[in-house]
Amino acid sequence: MIYLDQAATAPVRREVLEAMWPYLTGEFGNPSSVHGLGTSAATALNLARESVAAVLNTRSSDVIFTSGGTEADNLGIKGIALGAPRGRHIVTTAIEHEAVLASCDYLARFHEFEITVVGVDADGVVDVDEVASRIRDDTTLVAAMYANNEVGAIQPIEQLAAVTSARGVPLHVDAVQAAGWLSLDTRALGVTSLALSGHKVGAPKGIGVLAVRGGIALEPTIHGGGQERGRRSGTENVAGAVGFAAALELAERERHDDSVRISEVRDRFIDRVLSTVPGATLTGPRESRLPNSASFTFGNVSGESLLVELERHNILCSSGAACAAGRDEPSHVLLAMGRSADIALTAVRFSLTATTTDDELNRVAEALVDLRKAKVSR
């Protein structure tokens, strides 16, 4: 099997399972309990929080464990917008993950926020000056993703942070796809809050993180016992937090070497597909993209049909965001980039793993050529 759907999920690392195992078995205590088992669980949770904070270059008290990236985005956007709003206006971009767009829509429908959606260029990159021009005196939040989950386009987060900071507006960043490939130094980036998901970096599904700069008022979206310093109630997933910390630490340790190697492999794959597969067009920028991302449209060939045929060749990839799989609608990301609905429906996303080889990708390119010759169509 050739697995090229890392953007959807990564396999759980063995080291992560080993780190989690004690807290799934003998060390099963509730970290809120005052007896020995509870104290042991609380210690493990605190150590995990400190480990994550070290990677993010933030204080451990700024790290909130969530159920995943979707909840982290919901808490970051709704929590900041409702925590201490200076107005009821939010600026976001047209290529955000549904977790961000749906959170903004919720605030518009139930809390009378006005949402300004900024477009992107043909490569899927937002213009910093355009965002700056949309910030108003009543803007309470700007939300922008670090790297797009469908086309891999990296956004100018540091420049956006400089603009928002100058205007005194918090910046929430969905960094789910960036983890393991780009720096997550929140201080260097200048972000107010940052969302991550464990299963993108080798932790299990069901654990995520929202890092929120100290001093920022945050209205909880889940109410109850006041865990996570009152910002996210519910008994903490200790094993998940331990696994997340282990996975993130490993990903950060390997990040530079993995990024350099896989970007070279990716570039050779892109060159081969563009030169040999009829109708193939790269989506997203050629340079400023995630090291493991290669996405294409294929003219009059259905992306879903290609996926089915590629799986018959034991090649697993996707047509875009995993959470949108099975829908008939074209990608909102590609539409925002100016692609027609018909072209958007031909998209296929290849997201490489850190161990993907040239030989594997050569087999993928050959399969694509064969499928085009066989006239796989709508």
d(CA 272, CA 278): 11
Q: Are 139 and 173 in contact (CB under 8 A)?
A: no
The candidate with the shortest Cα–Cα distance to 186, out of 153, 210, 154, is: 210
Name 9's Cβ contacts closer than 8 Å, sequence gap at least 6: 199, 200, 205, 322
Q: Give DSSP secondary structure letters for 133-196.
A: HH--TTEEEEEEESB-TTT-BBP-HHHHHHHHHHTT--EEEE-TTTTTTS---HHHHT-SEEEE
Name 62's Cβ contacts closer than 8 Å, sequence gap at least 6: 53, 56, 211, 212, 213, 214
Structure-block tokens of residue 108:
């518009």
Which of the following is catalytic: 260, 323, 325, 341? 323
- Catalytic, 104? Answer no
Q: Are 204 and 237 in contact (CB under 8 A)?
A: no
Using DSSP's 3-state secondary structure scheme, residue 353 falls into: coil
Distances (CA, A) of 364 to 194, 331, 359, 360: 35, 23, 9, 6
User: Would you call 222 exposed, middle or buried from its count of C-beta atoms within 10 A (0-12, 13-18, 19+)?
Assistant: middle
DSSP 361: H
Structure-block tokens of residue 345:
């429906």
At CA 53, angle to CA 48 and CA 56, rounded to 5? 135
The catalytic residues are: 323
